[in-house]
């Protein structure tokens, strides 16, 4: 089954404790992206990757890191989480240009930083 998976689905952590949210897709997509969803703001792009070893900042990259060492995986790293990073996070992938290709979204990761 074609899908985007994220782990963990729920995470409660404390300020400053490094964490990684994994994202994996099985559709051989080149383009992957991370979004955060906050009430009243819709989804905002954090980082995206056009292909292996090619990443770039989205609209709200501060406090986040990403890597793309393999085509299927695109982990999101919070080196020192803060309470303002409490949010719902979505990973997405598509074949190439996001504008013309449908993005497929993962189920989301709800992160709470205390």
Partner 1 sequence: AQSVTQLDSHVSVSEGTPVLLRCNYSSSYSPSLFWYVQHPNKGLQLLLKYTSAATLVKGINGFEAEFKKSETSFHLTKPSAHMSDAAEYFCVVSPGGYNKLIFGAGTRLAVHP
Using the 8-state DSSP alphabet, how is residue 18 labeled? -
Query: Judged by CB under 8 A, does residue 1 bind partner 1?
Result: no
Choose between 14 and 74: whose C-beta lies nearer to partner 1. 74
Write each residue from 52 to 91 as x if it is in contact with partner 1 (CB under 8 A), else as -, in one continuous string.
Answer: ------x-------------------------------x-
Query: Judged by CB under 8 A, does residue 95 bind partner 1?
Result: no
Using the 8-state DSSP alphabet, how is residue 52 labeled? T
**Contact with partner 1 (CB under 8 A): which of 21, 24, 25, 31?**
31
Give the closest residue to 68 by CA, choosing from 105, 34, 106, 95: 34
**Contact with partner 1 (CB under 8 A): which of 23, 32, 47, 48?**
48
Q: Is the dihedral of CA 3, 5, 9, 15 positive or negative?
A: negative
Stretch that binds partner 1, among 11-19, 20-28, 37-45, 67-75 (CB under 8 A): 37-45
Choose between 63 and 108: whose C-beta lies nearer to partner 1. 108
Q: Is the dihedral of CA 13, 72, 5, 107 positive or negative?
A: positive
Q: State how far the Cα of 16 lies from the Cα of 19, in Å rounded to an integer.
A: 9
């Amino acid at each position: 089954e074609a899908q985007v998976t994220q782990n963990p689905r729920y995470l409660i952590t404390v300020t400053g404790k490094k964490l990684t949210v994994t994202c994996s897709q099985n559709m051989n997509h080149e383009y992957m992206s991370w979004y955060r969803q906050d009430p009243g703001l819709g989804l905002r792009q954090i980082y995206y990757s056009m292909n292996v070893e090619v990443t770039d900042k989205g609209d709200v990259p501060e406090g986040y890191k990403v890597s793309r060492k393999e085509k299927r995986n695109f982990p999101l790293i919070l080196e020192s989480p803060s309470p303002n990073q409490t949010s719902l996070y979505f990973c997405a992938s598509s074949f190439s240009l996001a504008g013309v290709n449908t993005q497929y979204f993962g189920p989301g990761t709800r992160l709470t930083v205390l």
